[in-house]
A and B are shown apart, each in its own frame.
Chain A
Amino acid sequence: MNYTDLFFYIVLFSQIMFLSYYYPKRMLIRIHTIFKNYPPNEFPKLYPESIDKYKKLAKRYQIMNHLIIVLGFGLILWFYVTPRTGEWDQVIVFWYFMIQFIPNMGIELWSRNTHKTMRLLNQDAQKEAALQPRRLTDFVSKEFLGTVFAIYVIFLGFNVYINQFNYSWYGGYLNVLIISGFYLFCGLIIYKALYGKVKNPHQSYEDRKIDIQTIIRQILSIVIAVTLYAMLQILMKAYGLESFKAISVSLYFHVIGFLSMQWPHLAFINFDVYKDKPGLTK
């Protein structure tokens, strides 16, 4: 075993533990803190369905992550006993990350369904809104936006530079098309966060602004990470560093995981909106 392989096993182990142990642990602590500090008898609007259902979903989330950890250890063992293949190693690590992502997609769906049920059950005839327009620059600095734009321009320039070498493996301006499409997709997500329909009918406007800011900053950070990573991948191929590709993709997923963990602190969220207010029903 050489040092590259050893480093790869360490990084992959770290990916398994960070994304399937530490991240879910933080998520579950957050969920159980909410169950404990904001129980259904005092905050009925927070639980449009029985709390037992939510506890079962949390348990299922925990079990899924444990199974994925076991799968990850099996993967390390498989990598140990089979010869390294550079490109394919990277593909396997990528698909393992997709599997790691599944329980978190489940949490996202759980959240959407909960909000949908809240909207259906909401009988509050009064609605409130701020009379100020929301602008992107209200939530992120112009410098941050400028950085995103600059990195995109650098990426375009980088592709023009690489194109002159006529590498047989280089996808040409298809890379530009894919990354541009990704920027557009992320732009739509940001637009929806800024101007889309209210998901949680009880959430205070101040908390909604914090959510919007969190989403926008996460998306823009991911956009930067994706663009830089795309350039790194091309460079590694050009310099014959395929053996490091699997390591780089695993480290990249660490970054994505870290960016996804930027949740607002529970102490700063207004949970009073989930208390029952007598006399407000239609």
Chain B
Amino acid sequence: MKIKIDSSLSSPLFKQLMNQIKNAVTAGLLKPGDALPSIRQLANDLELNHNTVAKAYQLLERDSVIQTKGYRGTSIHENARQNSTVNMNDLITTKLSETIKSLRESGATDSEIRITFSTVMKKN
């Protein structure tokens, strides 16, 4: 299976990598347990910065689409197919929308919400 990235597109490169891997899992082209190339190999093959591929792998691991097991390398997670359909951006948008709505109903201003949000982000 081949992966393709296009640096002329507006979508960040790490996002393109993530989406293609998720799409491949959803389409059944990648199955649970299938090994993925190392960050070094994929970065060098695609002529990308290692950090770009590392970020894509990190986020895919966070979403339980892939798993890394030390020297055994990276492989597709056993529940990757159902986890690939979860869109983190949609989840964040939904949760934040609910929270902001609730805070506004409590009387908080947009400015207060924004400042407090930044402070809490920095603390955590």
Contacts and interface: CB of A to CB of B under 8 A. Distances in A.
Contacts of A36: none
Contacts of A132: 1, 35-37
Where chain A touches its partner, the secondary structure class is loop
Contacts of B3: 128-131
A276 B4 CA distance: 19
Contacts of B97: none
A126 B16 CA distance: 12
Given A195-B40, A197-B44, A197-B47, A131 B5 contact: no
A133 B35 contact: yes
Given A131-B24, A133-B35, A198 B47 contact: yes
Contacts of B2: 128-131, 205
Contacts of B41: 133-134, 194-195
B46 interface: yes
B119 interface: no
Of the candidates A125, A129, A133, the one having the most CB atoms from chain B within 10 angstroms of its own CB is A129
A130 B37 contact: yes
A231 B69 CA distance: 42
A133 B8 contact: no
A129 B45 contact: yes
A196 interface: yes
A126 B6 contact: yes
A202 to B, nearest CB: 12
B93 interface: no
B33 interface: no
Contact of A131 (B8, B21, B73): B21
Contacts of B8: 125-126, 282
Chain B interface residue number, banded: 20 to 34
Interface string A259-273: 000000000000000
Interface string B27-54: 0001000011110111011111000000
A122 to B, nearest CB: 9
Given A195-B38, A195-B40, A129 B46 contact: yes
Contact of A134 (B6, B37, B47): B37
B7 interface: yes
Contact of A127 (B1, B5, B35, B36): B5
A164 B5 CA distance: 61
Interface in B1-21: 1-8, 21
Contacts of A196: 44
B37 A131 contact: yes
Nearest to B41: A195
Contacts of A282: 7-8
Contacts of B5: 126-127
A56 B3 CA distance: 40
A195 B44 contact: yes
6 tightest CB-CB pairs across the interface, nearest first? A129-B45, A125-B8, A133-B37, A131-B1, A197-B44, A125-B7
Given A132-B36, A197-B44, 12 more contacts: A126-B4, A126-B6, A127-B4, A127-B7, A129-B3, A130-B37, A131-B36, A133-B37, A194-B41, A197-B47, A198-B45, A282-B8
Interface of A: 125-134, 194-198, 201, 205, 282
Interface of B: 1-8, 21, 24, 30, 35-38, 40-42, 44-48, 73
21 contacts: A126-B8, A127-B46, A129-B2, A129-B3, A129-B45, A129-B46, A130-B3, A130-B37, A131-B1, A131-B2, A132-B35, A132-B37, A134-B37, A134-B41, A195-B38, A195-B41, A195-B44, A197-B44, A197-B47, A198-B45, A282-B7
